[in-house]
Copies of this chain bind each other. A is one copy, B any other.
Amino acid sequence: MSESLMQFKAKTAMIARLGQAAGLLGWDQQTYMPSGAATARSEQMAALGQFLHELSTSDEIGNLLAKAEAETAGMPDDSDETRMLRVARREYDKATKLPTELVAEIARHTSIGQDIWARARHADDYAAFAPALEKMLDLTRQAAECLGYKEHIYDALIDNYEPGTTTADVAAMFAELKPDLVALTKAIAESANPVDDSPVKGNFPTEQQKALTLEVIAAIGYDLTRGRQDIAEHPFCSNFSRDDVRITTRFDTKFLNQALYASMHEAGHAMYEQGSPPAYEATTLAGGASLGVHESQSRMWENQVGRSRGFCRWVAPMLKKHFPDSAAHSNPEAFYRAVNKVTPSLIRVEADEVTYNLHTMLRFELECD
């Protein structure tokens, strides 16, 4: 390995570790942080955001990156080194377009906004969240203007999640999907034979749901020695190394689907992160390739696996063990139909933590309950 590349990797690894620390602060805010600590946490996130940005955009990093690029110019285009530097270049060029003050302010406000959102959601009070959302949108628009774009302001942002994708690409995809999806949803809504979802409704105590979801996600391959499941206002996956990938879920004691499929979805994200090669740890290649690939993993486990007939047969004995008095376990075919019931609902808007940003933006657009 070239000397410049080694120096560059060592320096960026240190910065990556600082980013992982920021990730833990975000996780903690949504799981165990005392409510009174919200202001202090936002100041901690702002300080970390500022230092991270200063370090990532320093002349030292810029020079090391340029030297490493020059020294590795002859390497294959798909070698780890070349790919690592390609991602680093993309991130460096973007980061240097953003003023540090804006980055710190976004980190601070993301943390403050998270606190306001969680309270507002709890109280079902959108008005309480609206000013925080407005401010977040304003800051995000400022960032987009700094990053620049050709056609649509959102192009500057979508690129953070799905590199190279544009708003026009997504619009074209939705335009193609929309007619069939609308017709399908209409047909389902008007069906004379609506799906009976009574097997997943009833009384499902939280402790038993915890036990069930842990049993299921461990069985499908989520390594709980390098992860854990906690409760949060909204399910999310957050990682601070491939060896520390945590998920959250949410329990509805009257409706089994909520936690079971949220846990499987987040475990899908988590297994993808846990499977990131050890050699990529604390490099620009660590973790997921893009949000699209990430969602392909989470939704495969949630839907292709979790809502299949095979899964429904397989999970029946576990349902019987944890909920012996429920109808959920007695008829796998009825359970299969129940977990596949489709109903129109509001788009889910997700306030997510600043460091696990792969998650947020596209979900905002695509995901429904």
Contacts and interface: CB of A to CB of B under 8 A. Distances in A.
A225 B36 contact: yes
Nearest to A225: B36
Interface stretch (A42-50, A114-122, A181-189): A42-50
B37 A240 contact: yes
Contacts of A28: 24, 28
A287 interface: no
Interface in A223-246: 223-228, 230, 240-244, 246
A21 interface: yes
B40 A241 contact: yes
A56 B242 CA distance: 30
A227 B34 contact: yes
Count copies of this chain in the complex.
2
B36 A17 contact: no
Nearest to A224: B34
Given A37-B226, A240-B37, A44 B32 contact: no
A48 B281 contact: no
Interface in A258-275: none
A200 interface: no
A35 B15 CA distance: 23
Nearest to A38: B243
A210 to B, nearest CB: 15
Tell me what chain A mostly uses at the interface: helix, strand, loop, or mixed: helix
Interface string A315-354: 0000000000000000000000000000000000000000
B48 A21 contact: yes
B225 A35 contact: yes
Interface string A297-315: 0000000000000000000
Contacts of A18: 44, 47-48, 51
Contact of A244 (B24, B37, B50, B225): B37
A40 B227 contact: no
A40 to B, nearest CB: 3
A15 B51 CA distance: 9
26 contacts: A13-B43, A14-B51, A15-B47, A17-B43, A17-B46, A18-B47, A20-B44, A21-B48, A24-B24, A24-B44, A28-B28, A32-B32, A32-B228, A32-B230, A34-B227, A34-B228, A34-B243, A36-B223, A37-B226, A37-B241, A37-B244, A40-B240, A40-B242, A40-B281, A41-B244, A44-B240
